[in-house]
Structure 1
Amino acid sequence: MYITITAQKTDGNFSQSAADFVAYLEKENEQVQPLEMQYFFNQYGEQFSAEEVTEAIDKNTAKLKKREPKFYSITVSPSARELRQIEDNKNALKQYTREIMKDYAASFNREINGRTVTVDDILYFAKIEHQRTFKGTDKQVRENQPFANQILELKHQIRRISTGKEMGNIQKLQRKIRRLEHEAPHQQNGKRIVQGMKKEGNQSHIHIIVSRKDISNSVSLSPGSKYKASEVMMNGKKVKRGFDRDSFFAKAEKTFDKTFGYKRNYAESYRSRKDFLKNPKLYFSVLMGLPANEKAVAFKILGKSGVPILNIPTNKVQLAIKTFKRLKRGVDVALRSGSIGI
């Protein structure tokens, strides 16, 4: 499971409307027939249109300054293993979304009228998407880039020859291009992976747009708060503040496992990511100490994430000394790509 929370983008002052972001979330609907369109949903409703979502978020911004985000984006990306567990069931993904939004609300250290925040205080809309495209930051695109640069230069050369600006053999250059296309290290269905290409396989994920203000439009609920839990004096009263992302991520993982009876391997757990970041030696020690069958699954998960796992020493001390730097680079890549952890 990989979850991100991102503030509304800004180029100085924040846009006063969620229209652009909502339109971005409508991109898959541009390619399907009306009966196949995916609509927004929330805790209690279905089939909200883009216009209804934009209007609800835009109207819920009382007293927010121009330089304050009006909404946040939560992206929930189950792994291929997790999607197989629920058989990529759209209704199961909706069920999970509604459950983790309860976890989201519970992670606020806030009170509204003397009570804790609940999901009924959260104004949000969610949408399930089934496609992903390769980004310029993806490992496959980055490692293919030198080949892309050479191909582009050869195409420019062919264009110059075609217009008489340069002498040369076009057929020879075209053969070079075909060879480079084939030699690029990352291919999909026989084609060089490039930015914007659709990723094959199961890519279902969830986008959530959540208002900065509570549903009454009176209390600010920011998951971007730098405080986990604290109190501050405002108008002579103690006011709780803060959002515990660590708690939210941990709860979201437990909610999935409990809801769908998922047996989570250490290598894909939130605990493993924390161990890796805070105590790498402990991470590798636990990894090597797993039962044989669980260790095999862990290495398979890490291998698919691009972590170099061949010829790993079995002695824990030897592992920490000889392979730590090499493995750390690989796991860093996997964490950034969202392949493991949250």
Structure 2
Amino acid sequence: MYITISPQKLGGAFSQSAGDFVTYLEKENQGKSPSEKEYFFNQYEDKIRPYEVIKEIDGNTAKLKLKEPKYYSITINPSQYELKHIHNNPEKLRAFVRNAMKEYANSFNREIQGRPINVDDIKYYAKIEQERAYKSYDVAIRENNPYSKQIAKLKNELSKVERGDISGNTRQLKNDIQKLVRDAPYKIRGKVVEPGMKKEGLQSHIHIIVSRKDASNTYSLSPGSKYKASEVKMHGKIVKRGFERDRFFQNSEKAFDKMFQYNRNYVESYTARKTLSKDPKQYFLSLRNLGISEKKIAFKMIRQTGLQLPVLHLPQNKVGFAYKQLKKIIETGIKASSISY
């Protein structure tokens, strides 16, 4: 599972309305009947209309400055293993989101009128999407790129030959194009994978729009706070502040595992991803120390990033290189699974 939190921007400025983002999230509903559409939901309601989301988020921005984000975007991206485990059930995904948002509220080191923040203080709207498209940073696109460029060049040349603009052998050009298509490492139903093509397999993920202000439109709740958990003296009073991202990410994973009895592999965990970023040597050693069956699953998951793994048993002078290669492999997989705009 990969979770991100980001303030929504349009270009270099914070968006003053959730309208464009909500419209974007409606893209999968185009052409569908009301019974087929995927609606927004929150902690207690289903089938919330887009205009209601815009009205509620845009109307909950009291005293926020132009240079402050009015809302944040959270994306929750379950892996295909997790989706398969719950049979890609949208009701289970909604139930999980509601538990995850409780963890979100609990991760604020803040109080409202002397009590800890709870989920009823959070104004949010979530929506499930079923599709993902390939982006330029995906492994498949980057590794296909040399083939795609050459195919485009040959197709352009073929068109000129067929129009009579230049001389050339059309049969040879077509054969060369077909060979490049065969040799390209990533294809879907015989077509070379390119940016914008829909990804295969289970791709369900959740977008959550969270207001910067609490549900009463009184208190500012920023998950982008640079403070994790601290206290500061303001106007003679001790005030708690901060948001603990690590706690949110880790407890959301735990909530999923507990709800659905999911046996999470080490490489799927937030702890593992953080270890990779901070101490790749320790990450590599942790992989080596896994049990046989867990290690087998872990490396199967890693291979699905599309890159070759370093060998597990290496001479000492090669270990540093292996760490770098493994770090590159996992980081590419993490990035490929995220959603950006």
Question: What is the TM-score with the length of structure 2 in the denominator?
Answer: 0.92
Post-superposition shift, 1:177?
Answer: 2.4
Distance 1:241 1:271 in 2: 24
- Distance in 2, Cα, partners of 1:244 & 1:19: 29
Corresponding residue for residue 114 of structure 2 = 114
Q: Provide the rounded CA distance (Å) in 2 between the counterparts of 1:338 and 1:199.
A: 11
SS at match of 2:57: helix
> Matches of residues 137-176 of structure 1 in structure 2 within 5 Å?
137-176=137-176
Structure 1 residues without counterparts, runs of 5 or longer: none
| 1:43 is the counterpart of 2:43 | yes
**How far has the Cα of 1:126 moved from its partner?**
0.5
Query: Distance between the aligned counterparts of 2:166 and 2:172, measured in 1?
Result: 15
String of CA shifts for 1:168-198, please: whole Å, max 9, x gaps. 3444333322322222111122211011111
Give the 3 Å change call, closer, same or farther, for CA 308–177 of structure 1 in structure 2.
Answer: closer
Contact 2:127/2:207 (CA < 8 Å) preserved in 1? Answer: yes
Note the 1:34-183 alignment, pairs <5 A. 34-183=34-183
Distance 1:180 1:202 in 2: 28
- Counterpart residue number, 2:331: 332
> Which digits, 9 at most, give the CA deviation of each residue in 1:194-213, with x for residues without a partner?
11111111111111111111
Q: 1:34 Cα shift?
A: 2.5
Asked whether the equivalents of residues 138 and 335 of structure 2 are also in contact (C-alpha less than 8 Å), the reply is no
Q: Is the 8 A contact 1:284 1:320 kept in 2?
A: no
Shift of 1:111: 1.3
* Cα offset, 1:240, TM superposition: 2.1
Q: What are the superposed Cα offsets for residues 43-73 of structure 1, whole Å, 9 maximum, x if unpaired? A: 0001001111111111011111112111111
Q: What is the Cα deviation at residue 307 of structure 1?
A: 5.0
Relative to 1, partners in 2 of residues 1:275 and 1:16: Cα closer, same or farther, differing over 3 Å?
closer
Identity level (%): 51
In 2 relative to 1, CA 307–152 (structure 1 residues): closer, same or farther, beyond 3 Å?
A: closer
CA positional deviation for 1:290? 1.6
Q: Distance in 2 between matches of 1:156 and 1:252?
A: 50
**What are the ranges of 5 or more consecutive residues in structure 2 without an aligned counterpart?**
none
Question: What is the RMSD of the two structures over their aligned residues, measured on CA atoms?
Answer: 2.1
What is the SS of the residue equivalent to 1:74?
strand
Report the CA distance shift for 1:216/1:57 in structure 2 as closer, same or farther (over 3 A): same
How far apart are the structure 2 equivalents of 1:337 and 1:25? Answer: 20
| Partner SS for 2:35 | helix
Amino acid in the other structure paired with 1:2: Y
The CA deviation at 1:31 is: 4.1
What is the aligned partner in structure 2 of residue 278 from structure 1? 278
2:21 alignment partner, SS class: helix
* 2:333 partner letter: A
Q: How does 1:261-276 map to 2 (within 5 A)?
A: 261-276=261-276
Residue 189 of structure 1: aligned partner: 189
Q: CA deviation at 1:145?
A: 1.3
Partner of 1:248: 248
One-letter amino acid of the structure 2 residue matched with residue 324 of structure 1: Y
- For 1:22, what is the secondary structure of its paired residue? helix
The answer to whether the 8 Å contact 2:310/2:326 transfers is no
Return the TM-score normalized by structure 1: 0.92
Residue 10 of structure 1 and its aligned partner are, at CA, apart by 3.1
Alignment size in residue pairs? 338
- Distance (whole Å) between structure 2 residues aligned to residue 236 and residue 167 of structure 1: 85
Structure 1 stretches of 4+ with a deviation exceeding 6 A read: none
Alignment deviations for residues 67-109 of structure 1 (CA, whole Å, 9 cap, x no partner) = 2111111111111111122111111100000000000011111
Distance 1:119 1:332, change over 3 A: same
Q: Is the 8 A contact 2:128 2:207 kept in 1?
A: yes
Q: Output the CA distance in 1 between the equivalents of 2:180 and 2:309.
A: 29
Letter in 1 for 2:280: P
Between stretches 196-205 and 262-271, larger displacement belongs to 262-271
* 1:35 alignment partner, SS class: coil
SS in 1 for 2:30: helix
- Classify the secondary structure of the residue corresponding to 1:331: helix
Q: CA deviation at 1:25?
A: 0.6
- Offset, 1:164: 4.8
Which 10-residue stretch deviates more, 268-277 or 113-122?
268-277
Structure 1 equivalent of residue 291 of structure 2: 291
CA contact (8 A) 1:227 1:242 kept: yes
SS of residue matched to 1:34: coil
Whether the aligned pair in 2 keeps the contact of 1:307 and 1:331 (CA below 8 Å) is no
Instruction: Verify the 8 A CA contact 1:306 1:333 in the aligned structure 2.
Output: no
Question: Shift of the alpha carbon at 1:314?
Answer: 7.5
Partner AA of 1:166 in structure 2: I
Equivalent position of 1:205 in the other structure: 205
